[in-house]
Structure 1
């Protein structure tokens, strides 16, 4: 590291690993390291970073695994002679929808951490719930139904919180803990999301939940940027106090805890910036702006949108925007993604992406009116399965030629993304857009 060079630390706590990335003022990566949970912390017995319970629905991760992973991550950075004193600020991300339950008295423990002990040793008795429910958990169907009923139905809940009730969302997970383990809930002093939990470790105090990650809980009134009392009351008593007041996603939470100054040599002026969820962080990291749309093409396809006037629906999610507190982001997930495209490639292009591209070029945009919808597995949006092909006369047909099939799978998937994006409030600008006074045809 060059002498005198300021730098900035980002920490990501995902499902299977914790990762650290350091950049300089020019966004050059100058240090990178990670801790893989299964390999580096085998004593916790996780598979893929999680514990899947016997009901196959309950999925948790030991919260102390995450604590020990941060110990290990910083120790590895120190062993590589990384100079922590050069860090001006730090922030990070966490897997969305996971939650951590701090036991009564834990905040005092955080504020008085001794620099001669590991985080794991200091905090081993600080959690009322040992296994944190994460995004993979789908055991809260009853709680989801109850929450929707209490506010007047799924669309009403979406109007308030940006999403209908989902099993993985934190409010429903809290409701389950309160119902099935009321003593654990009573002993809980503070509830953090994964993101604000890691921020709390660095801050040495309870870190606020940020607007953007907080809007993925079925608890926040996304237009008011505050907790919905109606939703809180439907989930558990005294919940507002246990969550604390949410803050903008770019808030400076305070200086780093003295613990890190003594143990690792951090500069005492290093600022802790609010952490957020992994999906909002993706929007911020890609530096999207008003009118932009980003599509992640993976096993599942995900669409990220920057929108100004959200229209919550029963499909997709509206979150508070992590960059601009007056704007919003939408997220839509499609289960039939790359595997579906690969299947058509194998069947219609001899398993070759080069042949696939040639087939695309052999047909024209619009596919001469032929349109296909390909759902090899039950889709999320919409909830259907099967392959459905239509010709230019809008008649259903059994098959297409190979070239038409190739274009149909691409155009069908992209048209679905556009259709659901527009339902959520996204506006496609063709040519010069009066609203934003710029050329936005690239967004379509």
Structure 2
């Protein structure tokens, strides 16, 4: 009788795929790895100042003698990528499991590829690192202008004049002209360094530059990051002819056609396959700006608002029908091509709250919080606007206090002043958000992050002012996390699967505050007069400036 044959054991299942998110930020390059269940499996970073000290940056940048020009070395970003991937390789990371990657870059930075650079990108040798191969004759400008640069004021004025004014430019591109925006930086370069401009074959944003390294070819600028250039028509999602014409000749050829933020650009370059062991099937999903990537990392949905309470307060909005204005920015939404996102930045955030804490609460957050608990919602009509430094939104400086009859007063009692500050800050955030097209709808959530998000009483005021529940969320790596989420979503986006369907298993934010039942009535009354008071603040600031120049 023949012995029964024993079947060999089935081969073990292949390890689950991974998704990489990179963030080329101002001070460091970060990477975050997730699996298909959205678990974060690995994180690493390269600090520019300390780990790449040969580039002699401070805070990741070079501040030039005029104090207006601020740049970063392009090759520093290249060398950082070499260093980061080598770190991962030494740690035993299995690049063959990576199914898709995406990334983000600091918004408004621009990279100028020299004529012939595409051939170098296409023929990278896996025997040498990127820095060795790209340090010679690849970039026509060695130091890239970045978001901190404010040296293109004249170009901003010229662009606005060419299109019919600041508001008209905002209606087209989502923002009035800003010195840091890429179109104005390109115009300045063309005027001040014509030889470098003539020798440029392609212009990238930091995000599309980083994607180009992985792609081994020029990567398209995505709609969302392209919205921060003063060049993209945010409604047609194509370059604005009038803006291009006002900026530089044949600029559309240097920029290439923009693409949806969910686009799969192609397979990873063979360079990464042979040098690091990436799979040939690994896909590169379009990179975007750090702010749009953060919106993806926060998983903001229609009607949501995110408020980052830090040194500066930043407000992120998901909006359907934008109303671009002279203050704030409207971008194309990075995860839903039919929607938009808006961004507002307020300089006078936590430092102003700390000053009032010191002056009115003896330096104690407990006393500060008690003042919020012991004063009524609406503060009996007392309100304050505190601009210790020149504010961005609105452009004003100084302290403005108003009593319950809307009369400007020189002082308020300590407890009343604490609430006047906090309610005034959040009412201003809401007012400017609504001016850009934001509206509170059923299901609206406020996602709070940043240092002040640990203060329950401050978050209660935030909830009451917006008449919406407040949740807290850890956004320490939101851009990186958003990039990894977008890599995962990019593979299925063309088949109609939504971003939120992909992220169903992501951890939920924590509910920390709900609006008081009387909040709608109190805030409706307060909100009625806040626009008028805000206009008086602007007028008062203008009068002060005029007097100071007399």
Both structures adopt the same fold (TM-score exceeding 0.5)? yes
Do the aligned partners of 2:385 and 2:424 also contact (CA within 8 Å) in 1? yes
Residue 346 of structure 1: SS of its match in structure 2?
helix
Match of 1:261 in 2: 273
Match of 1:217 in 2: 229
Match of 1:442 in 2: 469
Structure ranking higher on relative contact order (CA contacts 8 Å, 6+ apart): 2
Aligned residue among 283, 289, 293 for 1:281: 293
1:412 and 2:401 aligned: no
Match of 1:29 in 2: 40
Match of 1:310 in 2: 322
Question: What is the distance in 2 between the residues matched to 1:64 and 1:109?
Answer: 15
Question: What is the distance in 2 between the residues matched to 1:70 and 1:344?
Answer: 43
Question: What is the distance in 2 between the residues matched to 1:241 and 1:160?
Answer: 20
1:13 and 2:40 aligned: no
1:66 and 2:77 aligned: yes
Question: What is the distance in 2 between the residues matched to 1:431 and 1:167?
Answer: 37
Aligned residue among 46, 51, 69 for 2:62: 51
Question: What is the distance in 1 between the residues matched to 2:176 and 2:82?
Answer: 37
Match of 2:133 in 1: 122
Do the aligned partners of 1:68 and 1:120 also contact (CA within 8 Å) in 2? yes
1:81 and 2:84 aligned: no
Match of 2:245 in 1: 233
Question: What is the distance in 2 between the residues matched to 1:352 and 1:196?
Answer: 46
Task: Write the deviation string for residues 27-66 of structure 1: whole angstroms up to 9, x where unpaired.
Answer: 2211111111111111111111111111111111110111
Structure number with larger C-alpha Rg: 2
- Aligned ranges 1:4-403 → 2 under 5 Å: 4-124=15-135, 125-403=137-415
Do the aligned partners of 1:429 and 1:441 also contact (CA within 8 Å) in 2? no
- CA displacement at 1:26 relative to structure 2: 2.0
Residue 219 of structure 2: SS of its match in structure 1?
coil
Do the aligned partners of 2:223 and 2:334 also contact (CA within 8 Å) in 1? yes
Question: What is the distance in 2 between the residues matched to 1:252 and 1:352?
Answer: 51
- CA displacement at 1:429 relative to structure 2: 3.1
Question: What is the distance in 1 between the residues matched to 2:110 and 2:346?
Answer: 25
Residue 378 of structure 1: SS of its match in structure 2?
coil
- CA displacement at 1:24 relative to structure 2: 1.2
* Structure 1 runs of 4+ with >6 Å offset: none
Task: Write the deviation string for residues 328-374 of structure 1: whole angstroms up to 9, x where unpaired.
Answer: 11111111011001111111222222221111100111111111111
Uncovered stretches (5+) of structure 2, i.e. residues with no partner:
1-12, 445-466, 471-514, 516-550
Question: What is the distance in 2 between the residues matched to 1:130 and 1:238?
Answer: 22
Question: What is the distance in 1 between the residues matched to 2:468 and 2:73?
Answer: 47
Task: Write the deviation string for residues 280-324 of structure 1: whole angstroms up to 9, x where unpaired.
Answer: 111111111111111111111111111111111100011001111
Do the aligned partners of 1:18 and 1:69 also contact (CA within 8 Å) in 2? yes
Task: Write the deviation string for residues 152-197 of structure 1: whole angstroms up to 9, x where unpaired.
Answer: 1111111110101000000000001100111111111110000000
Residue 43 of structure 1: SS of its match in structure 2?
helix
- With 393-402 and 407-416 compared, the bigger mean Cα shift is at 393-402
Residue 215 of structure 1: SS of its match in structure 2?
helix
Question: What is the distance in 1 between the residues matched to 2:293 and 2:303?
Answer: 17
Match of 1:435 in 2: none
Residue 168 of structure 2: SS of its match in structure 1?
helix
Do the aligned partners of 2:214 and 2:284 also contact (CA within 8 Å) in 1? yes
- CA displacement at 1:137 relative to structure 2: 0.4
Structural RMSD (CA): 1.4
- CA displacement at 1:430 relative to structure 2: 6.5
Residue 179 of structure 2: SS of its match in structure 1?
coil
Question: What is the distance in 2 between the residues matched to 1:379 and 1:174?
Answer: 27
Structure with more of its chain in helix, by fraction = 2
Question: What is the distance in 2 between the residues matched to 1:362 and 1:132?
Answer: 52
- CA displacement at 1:382 relative to structure 2: 1.1
Do the aligned partners of 2:303 and 2:443 also contact (CA within 8 Å) in 1? no
TM-score by length of 2: 0.78
Question: What is the distance in 1 between the residues matched to 2:393 and 2:70?
Answer: 24
- CA displacement at 1:3 relative to structure 2: 6.7
Question: What is the distance in 2 between the residues matched to 1:12 and 1:430?
Answer: 34
Residue 234 of structure 1: SS of its match in structure 2?
helix
TM-score by length of 1: 0.96
